[in-house]
Amino acid sequence: MGRQRPGTPTLEEVAALAGVGRGTVSRVINNAAGVRRSTRVAVERAITELGYVPNLAARSLAGRRADAVALVMTEPDWRQFGEPFFSAVVGAVGDALTDTGVQLLLTLVRTDVERRHFVEYARGGRVDGVLLMSVHAEDPLPDMLSEAGLPTVLLGRRSGDEAVTYVDADNVGGARSAVAHLVRTGRTAIGTITGPPDMYVARSRLRGYREGLERAGLEIRPSRIIEGDFTQESGRRATAELIARAPEVDAVLAASDTMAAGALEALRAAGRRVPQDVAVIGFDDFPLAQHTEPRLTTVRQPMEEMGRTMVQLLFDVMRDTSGAWRHVILRTELVERAST
């Protein structure tokens, strides 16, 4: 059972009980080479008997490992954290870290002061790497982390020329396939609700919408393009504006499921039937899409695969000191339901 001792056992007490120096105990804890087997056994026996728990901060200084990664959310608007996207990412990354022995630290970084504080915190050896999500176009945090030599992986990217390792979905192809589906079902006046223009994901989905219309030989009308911010309320507001500006619209492609849910509410309030009068397609395929009325046709992002890939790439970057970045784009899939 070991000794019952008051207080927390120290490294010095372990060393005294094992009959070795403090540095030898540190080498055993960090699994360093050059320690005789008999000495290692004695130290491990002393650790067990005293119930000593190694100081992780000290281990990080000695072995450069904290056994923790940070998942950083950079969205400046608090309302965004209630959206399904964030919980989906946290769940996917958490699942990917299961059985790795690595802890996940969740933090918010939204201002210049918070950026500087986080970089200092991460450089202090408290995390082994950083996962970033919801990064806007001008956010300098990925570059600050890269310049500090901290392994970093983005979910999505800030631009087409991103110079930091990232994992993304094929947003252009997904939106293009959604438009093609609407055209096949006879829709010709297709509107869209975009995300914020300072996010590459929003611009990519808008690009896919435009390309889909061009391939179908349909006119791109600015009156049918309305900006949202990925929230349900913005989807409701944008759809009301859309049908007021372009009452001929017979389909709506929303750049997220939450905005599509808002679109359904606005259409219902306006007396438009879905899908008889107006078809609706979302993007993401979160559980929300199966609980709307009617259930949403949507473009599925492979969230679990994205989480696994982010973690794997981060581990790869942590092992690879060359500084080369990697870009991975995963396929999307159109899921047909009752809203079209």
User: Mind listing the pLDDT tens digit for each residue in 35-51?
Assistant: 888 998 999 899 888 88
This prediction has a pTM of 0.79
Number of Cβ within a 10 Å radius of residue 327: 14
Phi, psi of 335 (to 5 degrees): -115, 115
Residue 55's Cβ-count burial label (10 Å; 0-12, 13-18, 19+) is middle
Number of Cβ within a 10 Å radius of residue 333: 14
pLDDT digits (tens, 9 = 90+) for 175-225: 999 999 999 999 999 999 999 999 999 999 999 999 999 999 999 999 999
DSSP for 22-49, please give it. Answer: HHHHHHHHTT-SS--HHHHHHHHHHHHH
Identify the band that residue 269 occupies on the pLDDT scale cut at 50, 70 and 90: very high
- pLDDT at residue 53 tops 50: yes
Task: Answer with the residue of higher pLDDT: 89 or 280.
Answer: 280
Cα 290–chain centre separation:
22
CA distance 241 to 235: 10
In whole angstroms, how far apart are CA 207 and each of 53, 173, 174, 202? 54, 9, 10, 9
On the CB side of 275, CA atoms within 13 Å amount to 21
Determine the 3-state secondary structure of 102 from DSSP. Answer: coil
pLDDT digits (tens, 9 = 90+) for 289-302: 999 999 999 999 99
Pairing of strands 225-227, 251-254: unpaired
Mean pLDDT of the chain: 89
Q: Which two tokens stand for residue 41?
A: 């056994």
Q: Are 332 and 299 in contact (CB under 8 A)?
A: yes
- Alpha helices of 171-302 — where are they, by DSSP H? 171-184, 200-215, 232-245, 257-269
The closest alpha carbon to 109, from 94, 92, 127, belongs to 127
Query: Which residue is listed with tokens 């009308």?
Result: 221
pLDDT digits (tens, 9 = 90+) for 245-260: 999 999 999 999 999 9
Number of Cβ within a 10 Å radius of residue 308: 17
CA distance 221 to 190: 9
pLDDT digits (tens, 9 = 90+) for 61-80: 445 578 899 999 987 765 55
CA distance 178 to 208: 9
Query: Which residue is listed with tokens 């010709």?
Result: 188
